[in-house]
Amino acid sequence: MTDPVSSLSAPPVLITGMSGGGLSSAARVLEDKGFYVAHNLPPQLLVDFLELCARQDSPVDKVAVVTDVRSRMFSGGLLDILSQLEKRGLRPTVLFMDARNDILIRRFDSVRRTHPLQEGDTLQVGIERERAITSDIKENADIVIDTSNLSVHDLRRAIEASFGTMAQNRQHVTVESFGFKHGAPRDADLMVDVRFLPNPYWVPELRAFRGVDAPVSDYVLGQPGAEEFIDNFVNMFDSMLEGYRHEGKHFITIAVGCTGGHHRSVAVSEEIGRRLGEREEIDVNVIHRDIERD
């Protein structure tokens, strides 16, 4: 039997998550990258739709489906549908969009909307109901993006890092630098703190540069303990890859933090990304969440 996904150039993408978490923004990014995006299909229609898109005579090359809380009100559990799709060779990459409750409340208030599950209760109650409903699918998602501290441009970069050069049958690693003063990312699988290294911010001639610039990179990576730390981390990560594969985890996010996200975390992320990028079995993308922030 011919694998139906062979007519698509990449696995289908299922965009889901919390209302107000950035589902529409994620859909626009994938549309700009050439995906055909369908919105709010009931779960039971997902199988038929993706099989149609995967047919040899389909004009669709890449496809994504957005399913939010409104479509989940139809009968048919999403995890069961994913299991059916996997049996047909059409298991999609699940992208779960999330944000902190206070951020979601602020976003709903700013557009003067009620939450789909709010009913006669408060906005907080509606959000908590949705979070309970989506907990299982978030736990089983391939990629979780927390948009709490992301601008629209940051979000685009994060999604492009995951899907931009994605190859099938390989593991995909995102190395993300960040500043602790802006909040640690909640969607990281591994998090390391490089604030043990001297801060270039306190070196006047380096302050205006960033970790992607040679003067800062050379300074950070040349500090005592820096190379040993990176060697140990890369060796540790190598020892984890087979376990991740066995558990079916194909998307891994490594977060590297310093104080502001300008210097140390950027330089170390670039070096970790460079070393991991030498491995043929994984795709590596490096992004810098806070490099432009004050």
From the annotation, which residues make up the binding site for GTP?
68-71
**Binding site: which residues?**
68-71
Dist. CA 113–CA 1, nearest whole Å: 48
- Directed axis angle between helix 226-246 and helix 214-221, to 10°? 90
Q: With contact defined as beta carbons under 8 Å apart, do 68 and 40 qualify?
A: yes
The tokens for 64 are: 């994504």
Q: With contact defined as beta carbons under 8 Å apart, do 143 and 189 qualify?
A: no
Phi, psi of 36 (to 5 degrees): -85, 120
Mark residue 225 as left, alpha or beta (left: phi above 0; alpha: psi -120 to 50; beta: remaining). left
Dist. CA 101–CA 17, nearest whole Å: 13
Determine the straight-line distance between the first and last CA of the chain, rounded to whole angstroms. 56
Report which of 292, 219, 215 is spatially closest to residue 260, judged by C-alpha positions. 292
How far CA 244 is from CA of 173, 230, 253, 279, 286, in Å, comes to: 11, 20, 12, 16, 20
The tokens for 204 are: 């006047």
Compute the Cα dihedral for 149, 154, 159, 161 and give only its sign.
negative
Q: To which residue do tokens 């698509």 refer?
A: 8
| Concatenated DSSP letters of 216-266 | HHHHHHTSTTHHHHHHHHHHHHHHHHHHHHHTT--EEEEEEEESSSSSHHH
